[in-house]
Amino acid sequence: MIQESRDRVISSVLFIPTLFSGIVLIAMIVVLFQKSGKILTQLPLTELLFSSSWEPIAGNFGFLPFIMGTIWVTALAMLTAIPISLLSAIYLSEYAHVKVREIIQPVIDLLAGIPSVVYGLFGILLVVPFIKNYIAPAVGVLTSGYCVLAGGIVLAIMVFPILISLSFEVLRTVPDEMREASLGLGATRWETIKYVVLKRAFPGIIAAIILGFSRAFGETMAVLMVVGNVAKVPNSVFDPAYPIPALIANNYGEMMSIPLYDSALMFAALILLVIVVAFNIAAKYVFLKLSVMT
């Protein structure tokens, strides 16, 4: 009896910090929603999302340049990172010797551990001048180098680690018997990967990509440092862009001095939060289905 009640006491004491994490998440959504309420009641949602006129002093809050900026940079980063990361993960999982894996693993961990300002500086010192002096002249464009392409490249490097380690784990969940059966039927290694391993791992890889996407969406400092920050909808990868996280980070200081500005920035934060949470739920859902399957 004493044992049982002590058990229950411990359970409830430990439940309090557990509950805390959930409360923070809910509080964040509620507070951001409440703060963006002011602008949502004054301006129609369609204007906020689809107008490209951003003049806070005149009361025009069109988020299209920022939404498009985020989409351009993130999409470019993912288009670059997905094939490179997948091929790397396939190599590590299907071909590499254990020793090679042991060398590559710390490299990927280290890539994941490097602070984002360092990637930003790398972008400024290497990627931006390279685009300005070599890539842009080669295609006949004039640019400062601070553009969508620079943001995309830096961001792609930043999502390598998460994409590689998640897809590697997914590939390892494919049972070896399936590989052996395919090889036994005379398929080459690549055919086995293409027709058996990837087919089986497909949902998990999609989930990994969704998680990579959501990480890329919210990345702030590194992108802000190389992307140019001009509030116009970009027309090409050589145009500057102004992604949502950069908008929030750059304008926090003066948001109290212009009416509605604070509410507009909180609305931007809310958009970001909703997208990231939705992506995470989607990825988790796929992973859960997968774990039921295996």
What does the block give as tokens for 14?
């430990």
> In the 8-state DSSP scheme, what is residue 124?
I
Binding of residue 198 to another protein (CB under 8 A): no
Contact 227, 241 (CB under 8 A): yes
Position 74 contacts another protein (CB under 8 A): no
What is residue 232's three-state secondary structure?
A: coil
Q: Which is nearer to another protein, 50 or 117 (by Cβ)?
A: 117
CA neighbours closer than 13 Å in the CB half-sphere of residue 130: 12
Q: How far is the CB of 162 from another protein (least distance, A)?
A: 10
By CB under 8 A, which span of 49-57, 61-69, 143-151, 274-282 interacts with another protein?
274-282
Number of residues that bind another protein (CB under 8 A): 82
- CA 240, CA 122: separation in Å to the nearest integer? 18
Could you say which residues in the range 94-123 bind another protein, by CB under 8 A?
95, 104, 106-111, 113-122
Residues in the chain, total: 294
226 binds another protein (CB under 8 A): no
Residue 54 belongs to what H/E stretch? strand 54-55
For the chain, state the CA radius of gyration.
23
Site for another protein in 144-173 (CB under 8 A): 157, 160, 164
Amino acid sitting at position 74? T
211 contacts another protein (rule: CB under 8 A): yes
Does 245 sit near another protein (CB under 8 A)? yes
Residue 213 within binding range of another protein, rule CB under 8 A: no
> Any contact of residue 257 with another protein (CB under 8 A)?
no
CB distance 154 to 241 below 8 Å: no
Which range binds another protein by CB under 8 A, 40-48, 61-69, 183-191, 230-238? 183-191
- Tokens, residue 259: 């009416």
From 252, 254, 259, 289, residue interacting with another protein (rule: CB under 8 A)? 252
Selected from 1, 2, 3, 5, the binder of another protein by CB under 8 A is 3
